[in-house]
A = this chain, B = another copy of it.
Amino acid sequence: MAQRHPDPADPAAAAVTGEVLADHLRAQATEFLRALRLHREGGAGAESDGAVRALRRSARRISGSLHTFRPLLDAGWAESVRPELAWVSGTLALEQAYAARLERLLLALHRLSGTPVLPAQAAGPAGSAATERGKLAVGAAKAGALLDRQLTLARTRAHSAALRALGGSRFHAVADTMALLAGEVPLTPAAAGADLRPLAAAAEERLTAAVTALPLVRAGHPYNAEALVHGLSPDPSPHPQDAPWHQVRLLLRLHRYAREVLHGDDVTDVRLTAAGQALDRHRDASEAATAAAQAARTPRIAPATAYALGVLHADQRHEVEAARYAFQRSWRTQTVGTP
């Protein structure tokens, strides 16, 4: 196995070479295949969910390395594989995303109604939403039922689409590519001895530059009312302000994956983790707010339902603002680049 885990802050430390990258890609491809086998053997439920999660996890990591360390890999190969991995990861993510969105929105409705949530509901909201609804006010209950219907339908469709994808020829081609990658990594001739650190540093610089462009001073000032500022705009996609934060979330993930290649995934930076969690929360709240706004455009809903969805939308937009504040706090104390 190639040398890894030198201190990247120490310029005298031995270089981390392309061999480390090859090891990492082989390991992740093996992990992908293991998860796929688990998924095919397992039935439905939590085991299948875990296998899908593991598939996405390795797909994201391989795709990230293909991006960050592109100059060390066969260019044509890397460019053809990356979109396929993104397709796998994206297709498999949707079912879980809809389930999480529904859970987030139902929990928020309960919080807003001042009613306690049963532990069973927090664990799996789709099933117990109906029994819990009795304790909510009429508008909140109807809003919950509407979101339940719409997001459960979307989730079911995403589930079918994921199953179709896993059984289709496009996915089989990806699995074949992973099987080959688990054996041999198409490095460029110069890559084996090349230093990974400048490429990893470039990924970190892209992150730092994107963070610098964020309105962090404003985000650090609580209750700035920024996230809701276009909440009633006639614009159909009223929150372009979210995009740079979503972009930082992706760049932070690429930086984290590059760190994993260099230092192994046992070296975690708690502040990096906190920043990433804040950005995940930002993304989730942003999408939940959009789902509430979309549900409010359902024809022929009662005014009380629309009112509850308006309150819910605003609540989630404030969650967006709170997540930006949390990111700013975690980033402020961040010493970038040291493990």
Chain B residues with Cβ below 8 Å from A229 are 111-112, 114
* Known interface pairs A139-B232, A231-B112; A315-B315 also in contact (CB < 8 Å): no
Asked if B306 and A232 make an inter-chain contact with CB atoms under 8 angstroms apart, the answer reads: no
Asked if A257 lies at the interface with its beta carbon under 8 angstroms from chain B, I say no
Copies of this protein chain in the complex: 2
Asked if A307 lies at the interface with its beta carbon under 8 angstroms from chain B, I say yes
Chain B residues with Cβ below 8 Å from A137 are 232-234
- Majority DSSP secondary structure for residues of A touching B: helix
The one of B138, B238, B304, B318 that contacts A314, using a Cβ cutoff of 8 Å: B318
**A228–B308 alpha-carbon span in the complex (Å):** 12
* Known interface pairs A303-B305, A306-B307, A310-B313; A112-B232 also in contact (CB < 8 Å): yes
Asked if B311 and A234 make an inter-chain contact with CB atoms under 8 angstroms apart, the answer reads: no
Chain B residues with Cβ below 8 Å from A304 are 296, 306
Chain B residues with Cβ below 8 Å from A302 are 303
Chain B residues with Cβ below 8 Å from A307 are 296, 306-307, 309-310, 313
Q: List 30 A-B contacts (CB under 8 A).
A: A111-B225, A111-B229, A112-B229, A112-B231, A113-B232, A113-B234, A114-B235, A222-B222, A222-B223, A223-B318, A223-B319, A223-B321, A223-B322, A225-B322, A228-B311, A228-B315, A232-B312, A296-B304, A303-B303, A303-B305, A306-B307, A306-B310, A307-B307, A307-B309, A307-B313, A308-B310, A311-B313, A313-B314, A314-B314, A314-B315
Binding site for B on A (CB under 8 A): 109, 111-115, 136-140, 222-223, 225, 228-235, 238, 296, 301-315, 318-319, 321-322, 325
